[in-house]
Amino acid sequence: MEHSHLILREHAFTWITTLPQSKIFHVSDLYRYLRVSFPKECKRAGEALGGPNDTYSAQFAIRDARNRGLLRHVKRGYWERT
């Protein structure tokens, strides 16, 4: 069973936690980070989930960070590190 999406999710969460407080970012910044830094994992995750789903991992990392009180939604696609 392929676990690339879980690896990407953990890397995405780590990226979020390293941002300075009050930093505002767009989800595309996170997608870009994953695609540039982990191209093999992104490809494997897409194959395992039936498409290019590195975005799936990033979205779940954002949800995890929000649930832990690390992010605040600013507006569509934008998040602030709290």
pLDDT, tens only, 30-50: 989 988 898 888 877 765 555
Tell me if 58 is assigned to some domain: yes
In a domain, 79, yes or no: no
In a domain, 80, yes or no: no
First-residue to last-residue Cα distance in the chain: 35
82 is a domain residue: no
Residue 34 lies in a domain: yes
Confidence bin at 1 (pLDDT 50/70/90): very low
Does residue 42 lie within any of the structural domains?
yes
> Using one digit for the tens of pLDDT, what is the confidence trace for 2-14?
577 788 899 999 9
Say what the pTM is: 0.86
DSSP H or E stretch at residue 71: strand 71-75
Q: Does residue 61 fall inside a structural domain?
A: yes
Residue pair 67/19 in contact by the 8 Å Cβ criterion: no
Is 37 within the bounds of a domain? Answer: yes
Cα 54 from Cα 5, distance rounded (Å): 7
Give the count of domains, the chain.
1
Query: Domain containing 43: what range?
Result: 4-18+26-69
